[in-house]
Amino acid sequence: MSLYETPLTTLEGDKTTLGQWQGDVLLLVNVASKCGLTPQYEQLEALQRKYHQQGFNVIGFPCNQFLGQEPGDPQDIKTFCSTTYGVTFPMSGKIDVNGAQRHPLYQQLVAAQPQAVAPPDSDFLARMVSKGRSPKQTGDILWNFEKFLIDRQGNVVARFSPDMLPDDTHILVQIEKALADRC
């Protein structure tokens, strides 16, 4: 099954797939409302607004697997994101990104890109390990706000660590490269 065929549920509870964005560049991000990294919503929304007309979409995947940092119901999540950060990009219903119940989409993403690129001199992984929060399996999502970049052909071309900010030059270069490729 391709990424585009994987069943998803929207935050509103509707059944869908990524197929509606086939041909677009996508940045898929597991998100949470009560995380120290939650302010990344602002930068993610800025990316959505900057590149949307060129065929780009951020898609958020709420996840409550990291210290229960996404405890709300769908309406709580939607209200928080729209009123606090002005989020307009699409969001799925809550999913698991690790473990036995890992969503099939994340199974594909992790298989395609088992390791995330981190900012230079990042100590995020070391801090997680020191707090006993190291990944359980190779390829596990480390924390909230890990990002996957999908090109127009549906290929997972990059994976970025949670502490790589959405407006990091490395991410912007990769997005612009993917947008320029019209094959």
From 35, 63, 81, 183, the catalytic residue? 35
Return d(Cα 134, Cα 64) in angstroms, integer.
17
Beta bridge partners of 57: 26
Band (183; pLDDT cuts 50, 70, 90):
low
CA dihedral 125, 131, 136, 140 (to 10 degrees): -40
Give the residue extent of every domain in the chain: 3-180
Average pLDDT of the residues in 51-55: 97
Q: Are the beta carbons of 146 and 27 closer than 8 angstroms?
A: no
pLDDT of residue 167: 96
Tell me the pairing of strands 25-31 and 147-150. Answer: antiparallel
pTM for the model: 0.95
**123: exposed, middle or buried (Cβ count in 10 Å: 0-12, 13-18, 19+):** exposed
Average pLDDT of the residues in 109-122: 93
How high is the mean pLDDT of the chain?
A: 94
Q: Are the beta carbons of 11 and 42 closer than 8 angstroms?
A: no
Beta bridge partners of 156: 150
- For the question of residue 81 being annotated catalytic, the response is no
- CATH class for domain 3-180? alpha beta
Query: Quick check: 25 pLDDT over 90?
Result: yes
